[in-house]
Structures are given as structure tokens and as C-alpha cells.
């Protein structure tokens, strides 16, 4: 079975992409999400720091500074690194 994050289908608005990662609105929770372009749950520290920094830039622009937290818990797809910019009560967004 294929990995939805590796597929990188542009179903929701995309905010950023480079050779390390891409950032789009999460299809499930509708908040910005960064996805590592390599299929693994454990990126090197420098790649993780880069992704969190890029997600912070996007989340500041989309959600507003200091209105969210970076959630690196991979709930539904635990074998491919991704992180969300979570606003309070994000599950009610939309």
C-alpha cells in the first residue's frame, strides 16, 4: 500500500516546498502541516529543525504569530515524519 504523504497529492492549498519538505493544509484537520520528502519517521536533527522553522514561518502568516503550537506527534501516519501547527481547539476549525 502506498503512502499518502509520499504521494504528495495537492488536494488542499500548498504554502511552501523545497528539496527537504512541503507544507500544505492538512486534509483532515485543516491546519498547516509540514511533510518530510523522505519516507521515514526520524529525520536528522538539521532536517527536523529546517522543517519546523519553515512551518513556523507559514503558520505565522496563515494563523498568526503565537496562536498555535507545533505538534510533532504522528497519529494517523506514524511511519512518515510530519508535523502540524495546531491552534487551540483545532478539531473544531472549519
- Residue 15: closest CA among 56, 49, 58: 58
User: Which grid cell sits at 10?
Assistant: 495537492
Overall pTM surpassing 0.85 (yes/no) = yes
Q: Model confidence at 2, in pLDDT bands (50, 70, 90)?
A: confident
Alpha helices in the chain (DSSP H): 4-7, 45-62
Domain boundaries, the chain: 4-92
Mean pLDDT of 67-93: 88
The CATH code that applies to domain 4-92 is 3.30.428.10
Q: Are 68 and 85 in contact (CB under 8 A)?
A: yes
Express each pLDDT in 22-51 by its tens digit. Answer: 999 999 888 999 999 999 999 999 999 999
Structure confidence at residue 87 (pLDDT): 87
On the question of pLDDT at 91 being above 70, the answer is: no
DSSP state of 36: E
Amino acid at each position: 500500500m502506498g503512502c499518502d504523504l509520499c504521494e504528495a497529492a495537492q488536494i488542499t492549498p500548498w504554502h511552501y516546498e523545497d528539496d527537504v519538505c512541503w507544507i500544505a493544509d492538512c486534509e483532515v484537520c485543516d491546519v498547516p502541516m509540514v511533510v518530510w520528502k523522505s519516507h521515514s519517521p526520524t529525520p536528522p536533527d538539521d532536517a527536523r529543525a529546517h522543517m519546523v522553522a519553515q512551518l513556523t514561518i507559514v503558520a505565522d502568516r496563515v494563523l498568526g504569530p503565537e496562536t498555535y503550537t507545533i505538534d510533532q506527534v504522528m497519529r494517523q501516519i506514524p511511519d512518515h515524519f510530519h508535523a502540524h501547527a495546531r491552534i487551540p481547539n483545532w478539531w473544531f476549525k472549519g
